[in-house]
Structure 1
Amino acid sequence: MFKKMNERPQLQKAIGKLGFFSLAFGSMIGVGWLTGVKGWLGDAGPVGAILAFLLGGTLMLAIGFCYAKVMQMLPVSGGEVAYAYKAFGTGESFLIGWFLTFGYLSVSAFEAVSIGIVVSYLVPFDHWPLYKIDGTTVYLSHLLLAVGLTTLIAFLNFRGVGMATIFQSILTSLLVLCTAAFVIAGITNGSLSNLEPMFGGAEGKNGFTGVLAVFVTVPFWFVGFDTIPQAAEERTDKVSANKLGQVLLWSIVGATFFYAAVILSVAMVTPLGSLEGAALPTAAAFEKAFESPLLAQLVLFVALIGLLTSWNGFFLSGTRVLFAMGRGHIIHPALGRPHARFGTPASAILFAALVTIAGTFLGKPAVLVLVNVGSVCIALAFFGVTLSLSAILLRSGKSISLFTWMLISIAMLGSLLILLVMLIPGSPAAFPFDAWEWPILAVLAALGGVVWVLSRRQRGSITEEERTRLILDEQNPEKAML
């Protein structure tokens, strides 16, 4: 069933440029824009919110540049796991991989929980209540749908990464077409008078404060471009590592314009005050403006597609992080053994599916807390990549342009800012003192320490030279393109 371990385990090479773009873009879009737009408009106003996303997208391009740069040097599975290993060693690699796995799989579980909620807005779907968690009812119908779709996504990923990315590409293409339909309808039939006030929104903030309030949250809406490095090793021969970096950057540009277009179209079709109390403000805006439930359902359908593309992307990425750590014997090597026929990380896929299914039974409030913790984990990975790239470049002894160092510095400061606004009390996106996120983050760190200790035998079963070959595909330290 599995390939023997006498050679470096290899995954199937079947992802083209469209597949990679769909993986990143589809993962970034997700479903958050369906509910988030009211807050963006309320804080910053239409023009202020668009400006915040353009500035935030620019910051993410700097961070994306760091990913593209180091990915060209090390186009291997696991992304940040490999970069941290090359720069700092096994311990730091495990640290990044541990938190990143939690971040990806927490999002996978959140999408599994959310799918039933979104479907229930399209058709009656709240059937057979089982229990309540934090006042939210968990329905058997939702659980069955979540388990069924988790099984489907796991099956697609198991049968071949080509199949999984074809699924992703079809859904992403459909997402873009349907989004274009309601955005064009909103802009061509909306009114410029609805854009007033352009800055400050309905919350009474001045222009600068409002833009800043939205800007500090923007990076969280762009999480997903980092799915490309996880599967870099699985690119086809026609896709060079350099082209892969370009695809990553273009996916960030595409997501920036997606968010800007949604904000503009929603703002033009209806005054902001009319969205008060709307659970799904983007859909509500179009239904009220056009008196068309059908158009509102189109918006919800786009959200459903975005949910599936995000789910598939983060699920795939989580399995690749597990595979990279397993292949390098940082954790149990069973997770790093590809299936002999399909060339996919079968054990990692099974593990990710079981974690996702387990998460669906917790209900949305509990899983949302886990996603908040996962956001910290992914932000830590962003910061880690900037540090890894800096260390690798400094050790290379080669001349690096001032422009490159400027971009790396911006990315490093920006990713550090993302971490700080989540962790420093009083910051716009910080957890409250009594939030469950703090003890969960502490437990996650402690559990990581336990796994590290328990994996000592696996790490000691091979030499560091062998681990370098397995993780980085290097026969010697000079092979990587520094």
Structure 2
Amino acid sequence: MGTVQESPTKLKREMKSRHLFMISLGGVIGTGLFIGSGYAIGEAGPIGTILAYLVGGILMYLAMVCLGELSVIMPVSGSFQAHATKFIGPATGFVIGWVYWLSWALYVGLEFVAAGLIMGRWFPDVPIWIWCALFIVLLFSINALSTKIFAETEYWFAGIKVLAVILFIGIGFCAMFGLITMNETATPYLSNIAGDGLFPTGLTGVFIVMMTVIYAFQGSEIMGVAAGETEKPEKNIPKAIRTIVVRVVVFYILAIFVLSALVPWKQAGVLESPFVTVLDIIGIPYAADIMNFVILTAILSVGNTGLFACTRILYSLSKDGMAHPLFGKLNKRGVPINALLVTLGFALLSLLTSFIAESTLFVVLLSVSGIGGTITWLIIALSQYRFRKQYIKDGGKVEDLKYRVRLFPLVPILCITICIFLFVFTAIDPTQRVSLILGFGFIGLCYLYYYFRYKRKGKSRHLIQ
């Protein structure tokens, strides 16, 4: 008689260095670049947009090095949620875990609809819900089979996006300087970059698009969520950080530069995808179909990564006693299947809210999702600051850390300051003020719920250990 195979009690470390790198890189190359870049250029102008992306890249780097130090000394699934619980307090760990889970689960639901709409352009007679159902089954299967299958799939999803951006930048530079003849358009050279001055909409335009830029870079913190399932985290996490930030910023800056050079900035804000417009201007056959395929890949990649991140955050919350123990159960393949099913269910529920409660619940969820990423980066920096202070106080030697933040405490303090600065300017802008109020209001409710559900009943003491 064969023996019964028991479910594992810990997540499997099946991700390799190449997986971790491409997952982090792919997490920030999505619709924020392919579609959101047009809005940014239209609001801030070419130079203003490049400046905004540079500042966003600096903030991303500050957050990633802080996360790197924490993930190497404490490589657990859930990452910054577990770090915040241990180094700041269980209440903050509870709040950041649920806010991050909610924001990603919402995005996953929206990505299913977006993927269906993309397919609708090629197959207009097929109902969109059929495509949504197909992609739901596909992404669920990828995440349910094993971590290794998820990592390999995401590696190729991200690879398609990266290759598309590289080819676009190369073709764009050739068109800018006349190496490729453009359709009925003179070679622009750099005339569109600064033709209307450095900041045609003033510095106000730069501040307005900053939150949009930060949203585009969010997703890089997935590296920390994946740390609990990464081979040799002390080696692969620092390696991923060293390569990811520079390449992401270079990709974004060069892509924005090409877009700004080939498309007048006043037209960029009203374009569905400035990438499609550029390819049309250059005369690339089937430009819209090519970019639709790339955008579809980006959407599926975000949905795939989002399901993974949500599942691991919910698993971590369960292990810390902040969610039902059922979500901490693993199947025989080492996947938190119950956490995956609940995440998928909520993602589907968020789809319904876009139709049933469009002006109420959906708006609240979207607001939380909007500020969730920036709050996460702030908490990552604060956790690293608290860890390092306690580490030194306990007699630890900084040189013994396998990966450490240099220029401490400047790096975490600067990261926290920039995040607060972004919230201040979001509050000043009337169009974004409501989302900030709703988002922070939800965070306040999470803290109150934690206090009455756990703190008052004395259930949080074991979470600090």
With the shorter chain as reference, the TM-score category is 0.7 to 0.9
Aligned to 1:181: 167
**In the alignment, is residue 316 of structure 1 matched against residue 308 of structure 2?**
yes
Deviation at 1:279, TM superposition (A): 2.6
Of 336, 342, 348, which aligns to 2:339? 348
CA contact 1:286–1:295 (8 Å) conserved in 2: yes
**In the alignment, is residue 360 of structure 1 matched against residue 364 of structure 2?**
no
CA contact 1:146–1:360 (8 Å) conserved in 2: no
Q: What is the CA–CA distance in structure 2 between the aligned matches of 1:316 and 1:459, rounded to whole Å?
A: 32
Deviation at 1:379, TM superposition (A): 1.8
**In the alignment, is residue 245 of structure 1 matched against residue 244 of structure 2?**
no
CA contact 1:24–1:228 (8 Å) conserved in 2: yes
Q: Which amino acid aligns with 1:414?
A: I
CA contact 1:110–1:371 (8 Å) conserved in 2: no
**CA pair 451-99 structure 1, distance change in 2 beyond 3 A:** same
Deviation at 1:303, TM superposition (A): 1.4
Deviations 1:14-59 (A, max 9, x none): 1011111121111111212232222222233333322331232122
CA contact 2:78–2:224 (8 Å) conserved in 1: yes
Aligned to 1:144: 130
Aligned to 2:322: 330
Q: What is the CA–CA distance in structure 2 between the aligned matches of 1:200 and 1:293, rounded to whole Å?
A: 32
**CA pair 276-326 structure 1, distance change in 2 beyond 3 A:** closer
Q: Which amino acid aligns with 2:304?
A: N
**In the alignment, is residue 412 of structure 1 matched against residue 416 of structure 2?**
yes
TM-score by length of 1: 0.81
CA contact 2:192–2:265 (8 Å) conserved in 1: no
Q: Percent of pairs identical after alignment?
A: 19
Deviation at 1:463, TM superposition (A): 7.1
**In the alignment, is residue 281 of structure 1 matched against residue 274 of structure 2?**
yes
Aligned to 2:181: none
Q: What is the CA–CA distance in structure 1 between the aligned matches of 2:29 and 2:113, rounded to whole Å?
A: 17
CA contact 2:79–2:224 (8 Å) conserved in 1: yes
CA contact 1:64–1:249 (8 Å) conserved in 2: no
* 1:347-426 matched pairs, under 5 angstroms: 347-363=338-354, 370-396=365-391, 397=393, 398=396, 403-422=407-426, 424-426=427-429
Q: What is the CA–CA distance in structure 2 between the aligned matches of 1:51 and 1:439, rounded to whole Å?
A: 29
**CA pair 442-263 structure 1, distance change in 2 beyond 3 A:** same
**CA pair 459-74 structure 1, distance change in 2 beyond 3 A:** farther
Deviation at 1:201, TM superposition (A): 7.2
Aligned to 1:53: 53
CA contact 1:44–1:199 (8 Å) conserved in 2: no
Deviation at 1:358, TM superposition (A): 1.8
Q: What is the CA–CA distance in structure 1 between the aligned matches of 2:363 and 2:160, rounded to whole Å?
A: 27
Aligned to 2:259: 266
SS of residue paired to 1:117? helix
Q: What is the CA–CA distance in structure 2 between the aligned matches of 1:113 and 1:441, rounded to whole Å?
A: 27
SS of residue paired to 1:217? helix
Deviation at 1:342, TM superposition (A): 0.3
**CA pair 447-10 structure 1, distance change in 2 beyond 3 A:** same
**CA pair 83-3 structure 1, distance change in 2 beyond 3 A:** farther
Deviations 1:161-208 (A, max 9, x none): 1101111001111222222222222210134445434276799424x4
CA contact 1:318–1:352 (8 Å) conserved in 2: yes
CA contact 2:191–2:261 (8 Å) conserved in 1: yes
Aligned to 2:124: 125
Aligned to 2:216: 221
Q: What is the CA–CA distance in structure 2 between the aligned matches of 1:315 and 1:126, rounded to whole Å?
A: 29
Task: Tell me whether 177-186 or 55-64 shows the greater mean CA deviation.
Answer: 177-186
May I ask how many residue pairs the two structures share in their alignment?
439
Q: What is the CA–CA distance in structure 1 between the aligned matches of 2:213 and 2:439, rounded to whole Å?
A: 24
Structure 2 gap ranges (5+): 177-186, 399-404
Q: What is the CA–CA distance in structure 1 between the aligned matches of 2:282 and 2:105, rounded to whole Å?
A: 38
